[in-house]
């Protein structure tokens, strides 16, 4: 499975930012020009929780959700105060196996463009 809308691109690598920090790049291996900014959603949304079922985690061989990692894709425009996070489509990773998948949440609390600053849908 690839990302929603990019199903044919299935291999990505996480790239740390120069100098460190909480943001990472999610770089497509097959399409080097395709990259996203990702972050742990708890950095911006302390109460963010996603419901996961065993069948959601089976494709990435994750049997214990506490061993997984959740990231969200960010969109940062020229005015960074308008940055948004896709809370409706989190990425769930199995760091030990190097596998991940995107979930699509039906929870009405979360939007695909949820403002990082102001904590409301854009």
Q: Which of 95, 93, 100 is nearest to 1 (CA)?
A: 100
pLDDT band at 117 (very low <50, low <70, confident <90, very high): confident
Any domain includes 105: yes
Cβ neighbours around 10 below 10 Å, total: 12
User: pTM for the whole thing?
Assistant: 0.90
Q: Are 84 and 74 in contact (CB under 8 A)?
A: yes
- How many domains is the chain built from? 1
Any domain includes 13: no
Any domain includes 53: yes
Reduced to 3 states, what is the DSSP secondary structure of residue 116? coil
| Confidence at residue 20, expressed as pLDDT on a 0 to 100 scale | 82
Spatial distance between the Cα atoms of 116 and 74, rounded to a whole number of angstroms: 9
Two tokens at 8?
């044919």
Query: Domain with 62 in it: what CATH number?
Result: 2.30.290.10
Any domain includes 63: yes
Two tokens at 61?
């061989």
pLDDT at 1 over 70: no
Any domain includes 96: yes
Over residues 68-77, mean pLDDT: 95
Domain residues for the domain of 58 are 38-115
């Amino acid at each position: 499975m690839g990302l929603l809308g990019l199903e044919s691109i299935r291999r990505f690598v996480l790239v740390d930012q120069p100098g460190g920090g909480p943001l990472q790049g999610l770089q497509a291996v097959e399409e080097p020009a395709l990259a996203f900014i990702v972050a742990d959603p708890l950095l911006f949304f302390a109460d963010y929780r996603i419901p996961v079922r065993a069948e959601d985690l089976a494709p990435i061989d994750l049997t214990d959700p506490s061993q997984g990692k959740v990231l969200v894709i960010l969109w940062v425009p020229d005015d960074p105060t308008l940055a948004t996070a896709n809370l409706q489509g989190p990425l769930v990773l199995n760091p030990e196996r190097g596998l991940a998948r995107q979930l699509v949440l039906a929870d009405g609390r979360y939007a695909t463009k949820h403002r990082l600053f102001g904590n409301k849908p854009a």
